Structure 1
Amino acid sequence: MTTIRNKRAFTLVELLVVIAIIGVLVALLLPAVQAAREASRRASCLNNMRQLMLGFQNHASAKGAFPPARINAAGRQHGWFVDLLPYLEQATLANAYDDTKNFYAPENEAAGNTPLPIAICASSPQTPTDRINPLTAAGGMPFNTTGFAADYSVAYLLDAASAVATGVQYGSDDLRPVLYGGPGEDDLPHPMKWVTDGLSYTTLIVEQAGRPDHYLLNAKQSTNSKLQYPTWWMAWASQRIFVFQGYDGSGLTAGAACAVNCSNSQGIYAFHPSGANVSFCDGSARFISQEISVRTMFAYMTRAADDGVYADE
């Protein structure tokens, strides 16, 4: 006589227990996976900044000085990225770009729309399509050309009101970043010997991601109407510069104590949790906390203010 054995299946309770266990494991592992991915993206950004600093140093070796933050001369306006191209293993792109014409000229549109991987931080939420935007003048006049947004900037001025917030007495000549673009130095190369506060204590390139969108405290705003020069200071070929400022806790009012990740208008801004990457004139790059004081950040930004003591705080 043949005995028929019934195969035992999972009960509903057992199935629910298994699903619950899987859910718990996913919940435990997902943050770790996300953290590992962000750590990789942050490291990639740091490497980009080191490579950019190597480009600056190679430019200085070849020409005796860092390039200016911008060329503002009528008819051939462009930013520092353009001058670095030959020193970033971008000879083909450098040859395609006509530096006798403005960055927004039709003749430079194809070159200016070329994705430049070294200008992009992987933590930025923008897609390659998001990065191509119409170029406009500082006053908003359209040029009928487009450009490819970058995530890195250099300060060409330091905000006097924010300097007051540091509690340090800065003279007008002290408020000069490495690539100062004020009277007497705009359009001019900048010898490294002008950096007397110490190369390892003086910041050059910083993250300023998200343009032409406006971000405040990690929140994208519905409009960029309060973003300073959203598409004039956006593209890698443009004048990728800013006036370093501290902000209040809202990110809207300048001249206050928040130095990092409050606003991508005139501040250091990144999409990394709790901070941003900056580079220094000695070629190094490192992650700084968004809790850093505006006094310390100003000490890093000035090139010859004899304020290195505050950079150690």
Structure 2
Amino acid sequence: IAIIGVLVGLLLPAVQQAREAARRSSCSNNLKQIGLALHNYHDTFKSLPSASLGTSGGVGGSRIAGWVFIMPFMEAGTLYDLWDLNYGYDNSQNHPARAKPLDGYFCPSKPRNSRTSGNQAVGDYVFSAGTGHCNAADTRYWRGVFHQNSSIKFREVTDGLSNTIAVGEKCTEWASLNSPQYRWGWHTSRNMCYAMNKEVVPDAAYPHVDQNGTVVPGTSAVWNDRWANFGSEHPGGAQFIAADGSGHFVAENIDMNVYRNLGDKSDGNIAAFP
């Protein structure tokens, strides 16, 4: 029995590593499919989709995230057809559509009990806003390739498509204190894009669930105060796609200057993925 126990102890880590390698490969493929969808969208409409299109969110608002608009290029045209683009994500007309999860928006390494929360499908990938602000009205702060009501063209990414982050994984989730497992849906403006100014979510942020699944109360309910960052359940880092569609695993100890430069599309500080 002791020998069996030793063998199990030796084999279990190898089995776990093999399973994670398979999950990471599947996640990488998801991101590459998203990258291909973005390129096909650009070929069709001559610009990238907006991270969030519309003037306001919530009930009565018109805002819908760009994840909806690339669905026809993700072999999800049937789900796309359920959306009434005359209304925002929080209007009753779109409640049936927003509750339907899309496999390509999930990382298999992410533990979860459900693919929906609060009648909203969830997701594990976000657009990059660079070092600017996702919701900034002043276009001078549009440092990345995705922003609210943006329509960035590839020619505007002067630092190079291969040197600019387009999409990455998210680990931190926005949470309601009354519902610790609450996750904002991929279709909402709140999940449209992350900035790259900080390594971790600040204590003063909106209530959220950290990388360890712990609810962090925060001290502010103002959305403009929120600065989240990319992250994943993969050991050692997170996966990204560049604007050219190439996939990259970025280590958690990446130099922050390189990281920020990878986020900005045209600041002249050209950086290569390490």
- With the length of structure 1 as denominator, give the TM-score of the two structures: 0.71
1:43-102 residue CA offsets vs partner (Å, 9 max, x unmatched): 111100000010000000011111111113243211111110111111111111111111
1:190-220 residue CA offsets vs partner (Å, 9 max, x unmatched): 1111001011110000101352459xxxxxx
Query: Alignment partner for residue 102 of structure 1, among 88, 92, 96?
Result: 88
Provide the residue aligned with 2:196 in structure 1: 244
Amino acid at match of 1:273: P
2:71 paired with 1:85: yes
Query: Alignment partner for residue 165 of structure 2, among 192, 203, 219?
Result: 203
Provide the residue aligned with 1:66 in structure 2: 48
Shift of 1:272: 0.6
Query: Runs of 5+ in structure 2 lacking a partner?
Result: 134-138, 205-210, 217-225
Amino acid at match of 1:235: G
Provide the residue aligned with 2:8 in structure 1: 26
Cα distance, 1:67–1:312 mapped onto 2, change above 3 Å? closer
Tell me if the contact between 2:132 and 2:143 (Cα under 8 Å) persists in the aligned partners. no
Q: How many residues align?
A: 245
Cα distance, 1:287–1:49 mapped onto 2, change above 3 Å? same
Matches within 5 A, 1:125-144: 125-127=111-113, 129=114, 131-134=115-118
Cα distance, 1:175–1:115 mapped onto 2, change above 3 Å? closer
Provide the residue aligned with 1:258 in structure 2: none
2:34 paired with 1:52: yes
Provide the residue aligned with 1:165 in structure 2: none
Structure label with greater radius of gyration: 1
Tell me if the contact between 1:81 and 1:237 (Cα under 8 Å) persists in the aligned partners. yes
What is the percent sequence identity of the aligned residues? 28
Q: SS state of the match for residue 70, structure 2?
A: helix
Shift of 1:252: 3.2
Q: SS state of the match for residue 132, structure 1?
A: coil
Amino acid at match of 2:188: S
Matches within 5 A, 1:137-176: 146-156=119-129, 158=131, 173=140, 176=143
User: Aligned equivalents of 2:199 and 2:178: distance in 1?
Assistant: 19
Shift of 1:223: 8.0
User: Aligned equivalents of 1:273 and 1:201: distance in 2?
Assistant: 24
- With the length of structure 2 as denominator, give the TM-score of the two structures: 0.81
Shift of 1:242: 2.4
User: Aligned equivalents of 2:103 and 2:273: distance in 1?
Assistant: 33
2:243 paired with 1:291: no
Cα distance, 1:223–1:296 mapped onto 2, change above 3 Å? farther
User: Aligned equivalents of 2:198 and 2:20: distance in 1?
Assistant: 26
Tell me if the contact between 2:130 and 2:263 (Cα under 8 Å) persists in the aligned partners. no
